[in-house]
Amino acid sequence: MVKIGVLALQGAVSEHVRSIEACGAEAIAVKSRSDLALVDGLILPGGESTTMRKLIDRFDMLVHLQQFAAKGKPMFGTCAGLILLANKLVGYEFAHIAALDATVERNSFGRQVDSFETTIEIKNVAVDFPAVFIRAPHIVEVGDNVEVLASHGGRIVIARQENILGCSFHPELTDDHQITAYFMEMVKESLAKKANV
């Protein structure tokens, strides 16, 4: 069975676990470097990116998360997770994991009170996915090797770069598991490539 981890330091962990299990994969809460070694792919959940980064540093996980991506293991960041994955952040000198060749702007859809839900078409995933935006970032621009999968209001909200998937919104807060299933296929593809090497 495919093993998909959820970085379980802060944020919407249980919701992602529920979605992973609904797709037929094993979900593992990743709280340490040793947990990271057990999984075939990793989800970075929505939450508070600054708090997450502090906890990543506290548990000495940053380099190991970067190595996880560098090895070609799939990573999927939602909302705060997208911020952690981007290699450039508007208004900030430093990035975090920096695995996704994209510039991201934090809180670009407004504050908590400006949260909203809409339906969007996502290339290769869904025709009308229910996207929940909560203090959401957006992708300002992407590198040449990044594929834009969907935009909303002229802003890029989900994109993929080989083994890295990042989105602005919270798919785990809905009962639609199509994006999680798409990520699970990315993980299966990665495992198949490794098996053929």
Q: Which listed residue (79, 105, 152, 167) is catalytic?
A: 79
First-residue to last-residue Cα distance in the chain: 20
Give 174-192 as a DSSP string.
SS--HHHHHHHHHHHHHHH
The pTM assigned to this predicted structure is 0.94
How far apart are the C-alpha atoms of 169 and 98, rounded to whole Å? 19
Which pLDDT score, from 0 to 100, does residue 108 have?
64
Query: What CATH number is given to the structural domain containing 47?
Result: 3.40.50.880
Which pLDDT score, from 0 to 100, does residue 73 have?
96
Which pLDDT score, from 0 to 100, does residue 135 have?
85
Chain segment 30-85, per-residue pLDDT in tens:
999 999 999 999 999 988 888 999 999 999 999 999 999 999 999 999 999 999 99
Which pLDDT score, from 0 to 100, does residue 109 have?
64
Which pLDDT score, from 0 to 100, does residue 99 have?
96
Which pLDDT score, from 0 to 100, does residue 114 have?
62
Which pLDDT score, from 0 to 100, does residue 74 have?
97
Q: Which listed residue (15, 16, 172, 177) is catalytic?
A: 172
Which pLDDT score, from 0 to 100, does residue 33 have?
92
Give the range of the structural domain holding residue 178, as residue numbers without chain letter. 3-196
Domain count, the chain: 1
Is 21 known to be catalytic?
no
Q: Which listed residue (16, 138, 152, 170) is catalytic?
A: 170
Which pLDDT score, from 0 to 100, does residue 96 have?
94
- pLDDT tops 70 at residue 112: no
